[in-house]
Amino acid sequence: MVELRENEQKTLLALQKLGGKAPVDQIVETSGLAHAAVMRAALSLTTKKLTRIHEQKQTVVRLNEEGRHHAKKSLPERRLVRALVRLGGEASVEEVVKESALEKRFLTIALGWLHRKGWATIEKKKNVLKATEEPPIGVDEKLLSLLDEKGSLIVERLSKQLQDAVPVLGRRKLVRMDEKTLRELELTENGWELVKQGIEIVEEVSQLTPDLIRTGRWRRVKLRRFDVTAPGPVVYPGKIHPVQQIIQRVREIFLEMGFTEIRGPIVETAFWNFDALFQPQDHPAREMQDTFYLAHPREGRLPSRNIVNAVAKTHEDGWKTGSRGWEYPWSLDEAKRLILRTHTTSVTIRHLAEHKEPPVKVFSVDRVYRNEKVDYKRLAEFHQIEGIVMDRNVTLRDLMGTLKEFYLKLGLRKVQFWPSYFPYTEPSAQSTVYVPELKAWMELCGMGIFRPEVVEPLGIKYPVLAWGGGLERLIMLKLGVDDMRFLYKNDLGWIRRTPICQ
C-alpha cells in the first residue's frame, strides 16, 4: 500500500473529480490547496508513479501603455486616413493632422504605416496626402481590439492570422509578451486503481501540541513524517569577498609569527618610493609609462635635511658606504615629485627611518599602482605583501626560514629559493613554490638583505631582511583562477560558489 500525505490525497481526489486530467490551476481551485502545495504533491505523486506531469510552453501577450492608448483611439494611420476621407480624400498633412487630432509624436509613425499599408499616397513636394476610401479593418487592428477587450491572450490559441499579427504589434512596441509554462496533471493506471479503492483523508499535523493532547484529537490525526534527506533551499549567506578572505588569512599568519602590521600613504614622494631605495633617477621604472605621476599637486614634502643629503651623496659618489654610487648629479626636484606608490617597500623604508633600533619585525599588505597594460596577468592596481626583519646578526638563512614558515601555513609545502637581482638588496633571491595542480614551480616574491646604500643613509647599523611580491598571484593560486582580472569582476555566481577559505 502506497503511503500518501494529506495534500497528496486531496490532489488525487480533486484530479478524480476533474476526470483524471486537468491543469494545475483547476486542481488548486477544486482542492482548496495553495498552488505550491499542489505542485509539491504533484512531484511526489509522479515519483510514486501515480500521476504524470505534462508541460506546455505558452506565450502570453498583453497591451502595454502605448498599445492601450491606440486601442482606445485607433492606430495612428487609421486616424489619419479617416480624417483624410472626411476632408474629401485630398489634403495637406497639416490639415489631416489637425482634423484627426493626432499627437505630434505619432506623426512619423502614422505616415510610415500609411505608405507601408498602401492606404494613401504622399506627394512630398506639395506635402499632400491622397486616399480614395477608408480601407477595411486589418488583422493587427482586430488583435489590438481583442487584447483591449480580453486583457491578455495566449498566442498559441489564436488563429493563424492573429498569430501572424502578434510580431507586427511587437515590432511596433505596442504589446508585451511573456512566456509561461502550463502544467497539467494526469492520473496513471496505478493512480486510477488507487482512487477507485477509495481514499480517506486523514488530517496531518507537523507538531504535537498541548491542545491536541488535552482534547484527545491526537488519536484522529496523523503526524507528518519529515524526510531528513530531502535537499533544503539554497541559501547564500553574506560573506567576505574571496580576495579579502585570503588577505585576512595572510595578515593572521604574519601576526601569529610575531610581526606587526604597518600602513603608509598611497600618494608618495619619489624620494621614499625610489631614491631612499638606491634606485637611480634615470632608472626606466621611473618613466611615465611605468609610474603614475600626480599633476596636482606635483610635489611633496621631503624628510629631514640630514637624510636627504645622505641619500643624495650616496647616489652621487657612494658617500661613506664603500660604494661608487651611480655617479650622476642627484636632483632634489625629481625626488619631490608625487606618485602613486609602485610598491609597499616605501612603507617599510619609512618605518625603518623612524625605528632604527632592533628588533623590528613588520609587514604590510596593501594596494600599489603601476602604469601597466591590463591583461590576464597584470593589473594597474593590485596588492603587495611586504615585510622586513631588522635585528642583530640575522642572515639570509633566517629570511629563508621565515618565508618557508609563511608558505607552510598557507598550505604550500615545497619551497625553493633561486639567486636573483634586485636594485636595493644584496644578496638577493627569488622564492618559488611547487603547485601540484599545475605540476610546476611558480615565482611568488623577491627577497634579500638591504644594501648598505639603503640602510646607512638612514642611520641603521644592523642587517635588514626584506621581501615583497604581488599578492594576486598567490590569490589566483589559492582560488584556482587563471585570469587576474576575474578576481575583481564581481561575478556573483563565482563569489557564491567559492568556499570560505580556511
Give the tens place of pLDDT for each residue, 261-300: 999 999 999 999 999 999 999 888 888 778 999 999 999 9
Calculate mean pLDDT across residues 313-319: 94
HSE, CB side, 13 Å, CA atoms: give it for residue 377. 1
Q: Which residues pair with 23 in a beta bridge?
A: 184
Q: What percentage of the chain reaches a pLDDT higher than 70?
A: 98
| 51, 185 contact by CB (below 8 A) | yes
Whole-number Å distance between alpha carbons of 21 and 10: 15
Q: How far is CA 175 from CA 60, 63, 75, 192, 340, in A?
A: 10, 4, 13, 43, 54
Residue 54, phi-psi category: left (phi > 0), alpha (psi -120 to 50), beta (remainder): beta
Whole-number Å distance between alpha carbons of 152 and 61: 6
Whole-number Å distance between alpha carbons of 308 and 334: 12
Per-residue buried b or exposed e for 206-216, using 16+ beta carbons within 10 Å of the residue's own CB: eeeeeebeeee
Query: Would you call 388 helix, strand, or coil by DSSP?
Result: strand
Q: Which three cell numbers stand for residue 255?
A: 601576526
Calculate mean pLDDT across residues 342-356: 93
Q: Which three cell numbers stand for residue 175?
A: 504589446
Structural domains of the chain ordered from first start: 65-172 (1.10.10), 202-232 (no CATH), 244-497 (3.30.930.10)
The overall average pLDDT reported for the chain is: 89
- Nearest Cα residue to 109 out of 51, 166, 171, 57: 171
Calculate mean pLDDT across residues 317-336: 93
| 352, 360 contact by CB (below 8 A) | yes
HSE, CB side, 13 Å, CA atoms: give it for residue 35. 7
HSE, CB side, 13 Å, CA atoms: give it for residue 245. 17
Whole-number Å distance between alpha carbons of 445 and 428: 11
Q: Does residue 362 register a pLDDT over 90?
A: yes
Give the tens place of pLDDT for each residue, 134-181: 899 999 999 999 999 989 898 888 899 999 999 999 999 999 998 888
In this prediction, residue 502 carries a pLDDT of 54
Ramachandran angles phi, psi of 7, nearest 5°: -65, -30
Calculate mean pLDDT across residues 104-128: 88
Whole-number Å distance between alpha carbons of 100 and 92: 12
| 468, 445 contact by CB (below 8 A) | yes
In this prediction, residue 454 carries a pLDDT of 95
Whole-number Å distance between alpha carbons of 386 and 365: 6
Whole-number Å distance between alpha carbons of 48 and 199: 16
| 319, 325 contact by CB (below 8 A) | yes
| 275, 307 contact by CB (below 8 A) | no
Q: DSSP assignment of 234-275, as one string?
A: --------HHHHHHHHHHHHHHHTT-EE----SEEEHHHHTG
In this prediction, residue 440 carries a pLDDT of 81
Q: Does residue 58 register a pLDDT over 60?
A: yes
Higher pLDDT: 132 or 75? It is 75
